[in-house]
Amino acid sequence: MTEWDWYRTFLAVLSEGSLSGAARALGIAQPTVGRHIAALESALGLALFTRSQTGLLPTEAALSLQPHAKAMHSTAATLERTAASYGDGVRGVVRVTVSEVIGVELMPAVLASLRAQYPALSVELVLSNQVQDLLQREADIAVRMTPPKQDQLVARRVGAIELGLHASPAYLARQPAPVTLEALAGHTLIGYDTATPAVRAALRRWPQLARQHIALRTDSDVAQLAMIRAGAGIGVCQVALARHPPGLVRVLPSEFALPMQTWVTMHEDLRDSPRCRVTFDALVEALTHHAGLT
């Protein structure tokens, strides 16, 4: 039987592209990384990497093994989180995944409150706009802007978080606010770089926000919000967040309003876990209040 550590090292080399990078990521010596990979290749009877000028390139066999190794990694992490949760009271580790902007703007206050109430609780916060697989236990709890489709998930809809077009007072002092969607053509627009399915759906209604009209592009919602606050132009952000200091001005509210239905979800097997239950309830409360501000 092969060792789990070998697969963990295998995933690190896949991610980092070199033995030295994997060693740094794992906090182990580079020769140890090399021994793990050699031992795994020997046990499987497969070549997993080839050397190139840019580093180690995964073979077809390695890429085929990658999703199975990731599943092993998720299972091992779940085992550790579950084992750490046993004992009196609320204790252990909860892994939560939220979008970048929710993670930066809303979660710090939620986590501060949770830690004050439950000092034995630890939270792993994953900021990602990608949907983490709760069935594979890549996370314990997720905040999603799409309804969960799996029957094995517990989900609570917290309401609609509304998106609108906003600009800073400084920007509007230089450039008067547009009065029509067509007038956006005379403004600096801040927005996406890569069109996601959600973006493409919105563009069918608001073609004025097509990529070629956007002067400042990034797929990071946090970076977009920072640019809007800095006075760089007009962009889309959550209406509730626009009210946070330093404060933004909503433009064309009757022309552009996009409600995003929001759910807090977790695997049904975790409904009786004290650590997951209190975290789930805290997220529902915070997001319900947040959605109500819109």
Residue 24 — pLDDT band, cuts 50, 70, 90?
very high
C-alpha closest to that of 225 among 96, 103, 98, 109: 103
Tell me the mean pLDDT in the region 87-105. 87
Contact 158, 280 (CB under 8 A): no
Please tell me what DSSP assigns to residue 211. G
Burial of 279 from C-beta contacts in 10 A (0-12 / 13-18 / 19+): buried
Tell me the mean pLDDT in the region 149-173. 90
Q: Is the pLDDT of residue 112 over 90?
A: yes
Domains of the chain (ranges, CATH numbers): 4-81 (1.10.10.10), 86-153+269-292 (3.40.190.10), 161-260 (3.40.190.10)
Query: What are the structure tokens assigned to 294, written together?
Result: 């819109």
Query: What are the structure tokens assigned to 32, written together?
Result: 């140890």
Residue 294 — pLDDT band, cuts 50, 70, 90?
very low
Q: Is the pLDDT of residue 63 over 70?
A: yes
Which helix H or strand E contains 266, and what residues bound it? strand 258-267
Answer whether 0.75 is exceeded by the pTM.
no
pLDDT at 148: 76
Q: Count CB neighbours of 73 within 10 A.
A: 17
Which amino acid, one-letter code, is at 147?
P
